[in-house]
Amino acid sequence: MPTPAEALALILDRVAPLPPRRLPLAEAQGLAAAEALVSTEQVPPFTNSAMDGYAVRAVDLAAASAEHPVRLHVLGDLAAGATPGRAVAPGTAWRIMTGAPLPEGADTVVPVEDTTRGEDGGDWVGVRAPLRLGVHVRHAGEDIQAGLALVPAGRALRPGDLGVLAAVGMPAVPVHPRVRVAVLTTGDELVDASERPGPGQIRDANIHAVCAQVAACGAVPMPFARVRDDRATLTAVLREAMQADAILTTGGISVGDYDFVKPILEELGARRVFWKVAQKPGGPLGFWMLGEKPIFGIPGNPVAAMLMVEEYVRPALRRLMGFSALHRPVAEAVLEDGWSGKPGDRRTTFLRVVARREGDQLLARLTGPQGSAILSSMLHANALAVIPAGMDRVEPGGSVTLHLTELAEDH
Ligand code: AMP
Ligand code: MG
């Protein structure tokens, strides 16, 4: 039986990024750049005004003062998007708006607040003070030069990246596409969340929790909810699910009389990589490959199911989507309330905790009872504490390693 680290390595060794595609920027948010993106153009593309004011030659204003304002002849108005016809000659200026191209001859912009214009809106402007050469001018290429590295391969594209890529003229970018993930929940006892369960029935929590986890990875969940524990039905639904890039099933993976996921997957030709991981909760995780397609058989218990998706499926989906960073941040924390497990247990234990920062310390408390059927523990958890195999207690105030699932790495 593999340890959690061995199981993760067995999975990650077998999955590779889906082939890249060029997608329009409007569809690229959150996807991994498939190659390093380098600017081929400069921003801004032309020298322009940073203020609403007047484009002038600084030398013309050297002698300006409140008592003796300098008057310049105004050649006309330049709006953003306009192109100047005439150059600024000695003693002249253009009225200019933010973003309009600086006319030839001008080297400086006087903000409109620092000028006076004839009452009649006449063709002159008065300036009461000299200006430092070049102020309020944005130079061509001062922001981004051709050749500047914008986004490294494997990083998720963020809104700011998309704006920059648009500015440098990359309307489509090579990215790894979203993974389509079939999510099957199995169990004769399951009813939809909208239904009132009859005798022996419970509502299907996993279809919502797991599909949301898949979506939170940037992947596209394809729900196949509440598949009956019946060989024929399960076989037919699994066949249909094969159109997805990856398959997750919950339930029916243990040694119960109606646990058909394992034999059916193997009948369908999936090759078993492992079944069961030396961990608590949720030992009977199975992992198969069918060609290039990873298939995860996840235990039905909702706490175990979410934990398995977090620890094993999420890194695999991130690799399929081409991200270079696969894992959550890891941090050491003080477990304030301590914990005791089963003596001599050779399995890794994952505890749901609520972590918070205090100064430069991370403090964690258990969410409450850690039984794998305690679904309410998922409401409050923002991290998982990983207790290594062989350790059966942590003293109050002892140190634990956390996987920061929800808590930001730093504030
Ligand atoms: P199984 O892995 O099928 O043996 O299920 C283990 C436990 O999890 C049982 O108590 C099931 O009723 C419960 N369970 C299985 N699937 C779900 C689900 N989709 N939503 C909520 N509970 C489930
Ligand atoms: Mg079941």
**Contact 365/393 with Cβ under 8 angstroms?**
no
Q: What is the pLDDT of residue 121?
A: 63
More confident site: 409 or 38? 38
User: Which residue minimizes the CA distance to atom 7 of ligand 1?
Assistant: 301
Question: Which residue out of 250, 261, 264 has the highest number of ligand 1 atoms within 8 Å of its CB and is therefore the one to mutate?
Answer: 250
**pTM for this structure?**
0.91
**What residues have their beta carbon closer than 5 A to ion ligand 2?**
187, 251-252, 300
Q: What is the pLDDT of residue 224?
A: 98
Ligand 1, CB cutoff 6 Å, lining residues: 185, 187, 189-190, 202, 204-206, 250-254, 256, 299-302
Ligand number nearest CA of 188 is 2
CATH numbers and ranges of domains, the chain? 4-17+177-320 (3.40.980.10), 21-44+142-175 (3.90.105.10), 48-138 (2.170.190.11), 330-404 (2.40.340.10)
For residue 103, the 8-state DSSP code is P
Query: pLDDT, tens digit, for every residue of 387-408?
Result: 999 999 999 999 999 999 987 6
Torsion of CA 354, 345, 374, 227, to 10 degrees: 120
> DSSP per residue over 225-293, as a string?
EEE-S-HHHHHHHHHHHTTSSEEEEES--SSSTT--HHHHHHHTTPEEEEE--SEES----EEEEETTE
**Contact 351/387 with Cβ under 8 angstroms?**
yes
User: Which residue minimizes the CA distance to atom 15 of ligand 1?
Assistant: 300
Calculate how far, in angstroms, residue 335's C-alpha sits from the geometric centre of ligand 1: 30
Which residue reads 């009132």 in tokens? Answer: 196
Calculate how far, in angstroms, residue 134's C-alpha sits from the geometric centre of ligand 2: 73
Does 411 have pLDDT greater than 50? Answer: no
Q: What is the pLDDT of residue 408?
A: 65
Select the highest-mean-pLDDT range: 81-85, 233-237, 282-286, 404-408: 233-237
Residue 120's pLDDT band, with cuts at 50, 70 and 90, is low
Residue 409's pLDDT band, with cuts at 50, 70 and 90, is low
Nearest to 259 by CA among 230, 223, 220: 230
The number of the ligand 1 atom at minimal distance from the alpha carbon of 207 is 19
Mean pLDDT of the chain: 95
Which residue reads 């094993």 in tokens? Answer: 312
C-alpha span between 301 and 252 (Å, rounded): 10
The number of the ligand 1 atom at minimal distance from the alpha carbon of 205 is 20
Calculate how far, in angstroms, residue 229's C-alpha sits from the geometric centre of ligand 1: 11
Average pLDDT value for residue range 226-231: 96
Calculate how far, in angstroms, residue 262's C-alpha sits from the geometric centre of ligand 1: 16
Does 314 have pLDDT greater than 70? Answer: yes
Average pLDDT value for residue range 77-85: 92
